[in-house]
Chain A
Amino acid sequence: MENPMDDWFRNQLEDVPETVPFSTESLWKDIQTAQKTKPLPYYRWVATACVAVLVLGGLGWLLTQPDPVAATPELAQRSTPRTTAPAKPAMPTPKQVLLVPVPSTPVESRLATVTKKPAPQVTVPRDSAVDVLSVTPTEIIAVETPVLPLPSSVATRPVKRFRVLHANDVQAQQDAQPRLYRSEGFVRLGPPAADSAPVHTPHLSTHSQP
């Protein structure tokens, strides 16, 4: 239902001057800036969601897969059981850990030791090298181990081994050893020692012969 008052107001408003109380140019710049910073289109959101689903699905698949070692009985038997380490006594945390070379014998000499003492035949599995090394020396003496064919470079070269020592243990070892002093710092007084005297070789001497 038309109202004369509404009509009158509507007609009056059509003639209102279109003045703007602020700079239209600054507003236009704001509009252009807002147009440049568009939100991401929907297909980008879809692509992002697909990637996220793939990543999560892959992770889930990996986590639900059975352990390959546990699934294979042979591998499960070979693998060492994971045991909890025994509780260590309370020790101060070492400040420094040194790797000390341990003098070792050549591999060949360790593996093949021939003895005079007859002993019962003990068969040692070839793949259990740890067992061979961990038995006592007397037991090793009794064993007649066939010499493994090793490359000459490996057989002759001494294996350099290291063990982890506490810094205090290293210091204790050094203190226990006799101190060796360099001879360069000493001057010998008097005649030279008998063992250090020059050896007289008559057949080489040209001046002793008349």
Chain B
Amino acid sequence: MELLEALRKQNPFAQKRVYDQYVGRMFRVCRRYVRNDEEARDLLMTGFVKFFQRIQTIEWREEQALEPYLRKLMVNECLQHLRRQKISYVAVDELSEHQQPFQPPDDHWSSEEVYRLILELPDGYRTVFNLYAIEGYTHREIAEQLQISENTSKSQLHKARQLLQEKLRKRGYDYGKSHG
């Protein structure tokens, strides 16, 4: 509660403490949506400035609420950035294409490798996959946020999953070995 009160009073020491605690995690969030580190840095800066400004007007009950709020704010900043870039989300018609059932691979996969796989996705696929699979948005919410139709959101997610499976397979993932 003391930290929240200090943040409300724009205490720079409290702000620095929050910044140090969340800067790495929020950078990873931003980086999953944009193409390079520089864009992520700019969005991180804008997000933190807005966070420190808005925190005065929000009634905080507990410090645990800080991270979800900050994360959502960063995601919104990223979506605004993507809207400004006018990324094209092409609807994919051939949704009936067969997709193999996914089985969790062995533990030899590092989290950094998985993270890199997501970064390699095209912009449209990556954005929808991040919003749906990682952040937990629904297709309706994604459609509103990205100003696309729900079907487009579904098709982008489908293609993103297909592409990720293909990348996993290319890097040695084998269904048979995982659950032999």
Instruction: Check A5–B164 contact: CB distance below 8 A.
Output: yes
Q: Please, which residue of chain A has its CB at the minimum distance from the CB of B37?
A: A21
Write out the residue numbers on chain B whose beta carbons fall within 8 Å of the beta carbon of A16: 28, 111-112, 114-115
Write out the residue numbers on chain B whose beta carbons fall within 8 Å of the beta carbon of A24: 19-20, 23
Question: How far does the Cβ of B114 sit from chain A's closest Cβ, in whole Å?
Answer: 4
* A6 to B111 alpha-carbon distance, docked (Å): 14
- Which among B45, B46, B115 is the interface contact of A12 at CB below 8 angstroms? B115
Interface of A is mostly: helix
* A190 to B7 alpha-carbon distance, docked (Å): 115
Binary interface profile of B, 39-60, with partner A (CB < 8 Å = 1, else 0)? Answer: 0010011101100110000000
- Which among A15, A22, A27, A35 is the interface contact of B111 at CB below 8 angstroms? A15
Instruction: Check B28–A6 contact: CB distance below 8 A.
Output: no
Binary interface profile of B, 94-121, with partner A (CB < 8 Å = 1, else 0)? Answer: 0000000011110001011011001000
Instruction: Check A31–B19 contact: CB distance below 8 A.
Output: yes
Write out the residue numbers on chain A whose beta carbons fall within 8 Å of the beta carbon of B27: 18, 20
Given contacts A31-B45, A34-B45, contact A8 B104 (CB under 8 A): yes
Q: Please, which residue of chain A has its CB at the minimum distance from the CB of B112?
A: A16
Write out the residue numbers on chain A whose beta carbons fall within 8 Å of the beta carbon of B134: 6, 9-10, 13
Write out the residue numbers on chain B whose beta carbons fall within 8 Å of the beta carbon of A3: 102, 133, 161
Interface residue count on the A side (C-beta < 8 Å):
27
A17 within 8 A of B: yes
Q: Which residues of A contact B (CB under 8 A)?
A: 3-6, 8-10, 12-22, 24, 27-28, 30-32, 34-35, 38
Instruction: Check A27–B41 contact: CB distance below 8 A.
Output: yes
Instruction: Check B115–A31 contact: CB distance below 8 A.
Output: no
Instruction: Check A28–B16 contact: CB distance below 8 A.
Output: yes
Write out the residue numbers on chain A whose beta carbons fall within 8 Å of the beta carbon of B115: 12-13, 16
Q: Please, which residue of chain B has its CB at the minimum distance from the CB of A37?
A: B49
Question: How far does the Cβ of B60 sit from chain A's closest Cβ, in whole Å?
Answer: 19
Q: In the complex, which residues 156-177 of chain B have their Cβ closer than 8 Å to any Cβ of chain A?
A: 161, 164-165
Question: How far does the Cβ of B150 sit from chain A's closest Cβ, in whole Å?
Answer: 14
* A21 to B39 alpha-carbon distance, docked (Å): 12
- Which among B41, B102, B111 is the interface contact of A13 at CB below 8 angstroms? B111
